[in-house]
Amino acid sequence: MKSRVWEMLSWFLGYSELRRLKIFINNEWHKATKGKTFAVINPSTGEEICQVEEGTKADVDKAVEAARNAFKTNSEWRKMEPAARGVLMRQFATLLRRDVDYLAKLETLNNGKPLEDSKGDIAISADCIDYYAGWVDKIAGETLPSAPDTFLYTRHEPIGVCGQIIPWNYPILMMAWKFGPALACGNTIVLKPAEETPLTALYCGSLIKEAGFPPGVVNIVPGDGPECGHSIVVHEGIDKVAFTGSVEVGRKVQEVAGNSNLKRVSLELGGKSPLIVCEDADIDYAAELAHRAIFANAAQSCCAGSRTFVHEKIYDKFISKSVELATKRVVGDPFDTKTQQGPQINNSQFKKIMNYIESGKKQGAKLECGGERVGKNGFFIQPTVFSNVKDDMEIATDEIFGPVMSIFKFHDYDEVLKRANETTFGLAAGVITKDVTRAFKFVNELLAGSVWVNDYDAITNQSPFGGYKQSGHGRELGSYGLREYYEVKTVAIKLV
């Protein structure tokens, strides 16, 4: 693997323009005000890819100033017809598709996901931008009933400058989910990509400029959370913050934002999502679906089906099939077309996951397969399957964010509904059954923002995504995603 990675590393550093490793403000590339940089690591090897300029409060201030200027009433962006904004967004989507090979290699080098998965993420991201480009001239208010001498109506207006903080598990896709509705509504943006995976976001800065967006509409400031992210959240020149990440950090974001200028906040946080396999399920289909639900993207997904509840009548057969699938899963070089699972994102996550595996064994769960490191370099972990998992074990309650499948046994449907809902999370849930009545009962009673029947992770651009309870508030995607990015103004005109 090492020779392949070094080949990619040489290709990246030789082909990319160094300005793309700087900070993108006002359609220009800047060095960090404090002159500091940080290392970006290849998770397949643990080695440094390159250095990126580290944004701090001073750089956030510059980005906010550019975004505020771009949002002024008489600015080019604010005077633009909605359809013209849509043209720019579609051009950006076109450029994403044009550069899919380059972006996919960059994403895989930086994030570690298999190359074909990276290509898929970029295609979906372009589709998301296109979807919201279609909304630009349809974000309309209402004419309301009123007295005969009064004209009463509402306007939907952009909020202003939007701070957006995205995670490392789907770098380019999370960017698209936030860019799309914000730009469609006419806002301007200050984006902080995750410090682990800033490279594709920075490259997209060059595409934003090439697409023709006016200066200051989109600004990208790489940096860490405590300094750069915090500066975005507390900045009084930012009108709204959208954050995707952990519950722990999301709680801080909401508190700090409230203590600044009471800016609007939307949060998409963690999950410990149940997938319930009923006794009438086709075992082969159910096991394959459950396998994908947890192990996709190296299990680094907030809505992963990380609690698999299986009816006692089919439990043993389901375990056998799940172990077969896990042991066949190919883990390794993400640039190899045979690879199904790449590395975890960094050494910290690797150690955290390995500690959870040890915890599962110590607390009495049965390790059916996996549980070991793969190779000597990078942060690879075998797909791991535990059976006989109890609801109070750490692997049952905590979001592991790693390739650990926990399989629980149940015998009663009212019982499993209660157990599935006994969590502080509420992002997603799934059920596999041929009984339509049972399916609707689960849909109605599961406490989750998305419930999938005989499917999992069935996310589309038109369907809203977000969580109940501590999985966050607000929604991304669909028309609901637009609501997070516009204000509603009531207008009453007395006819005299």
For the annotated catalytic residues, the residue numbers are 268
Neighbours of 347 (CB within 10 A): 13
What is the sign of the dihedral through the CA atoms of 131, 135, 136 and 137? Answer: positive
Q: List all residues 6 or more positions away from 438 whose beta carbon is below 8 Å from its beta carbon.
A: 278, 413, 431
Q: Whole-angstrom Cα distance, residue 88 to residue 92? A: 6
Helix, strand, coil fractions of the chain, as percent rounded to 5: 45, 20, 35
Tokens coding 122: 């970029």
Are the CB atoms for 461 and 176 separated by under 8 Å?
no
The whole-angstrom separation of Cα 202 and Cα 84 is 24
Cα separation values, 491 from 73, 82, 152, Å? 19, 21, 6
- Indicate the SS3 state at residue 34: coil
Q: In terms of Cα–Cα distance, which of 456, 466, 449, 465 is closest to 277?
A: 456
Residues 6+ apart with CB under 8 A from 122: 96, 97, 100, 103, 104, 107, 172
Contact 330, 375 (CB under 8 A): no
CA distance linking residue 346 with residue 130, whole number of Å: 33
The residues, ordered by sequence, that sit 6+ positions from 153 with a Cβ below 8 Å of its Cβ are 141, 142, 143, 144, 490, 491
User: Which of 245-255 are b and which e, b meaning 16 or more Cβ less than 10 Å from the residue's Cβ?
Assistant: bebebbebbbe
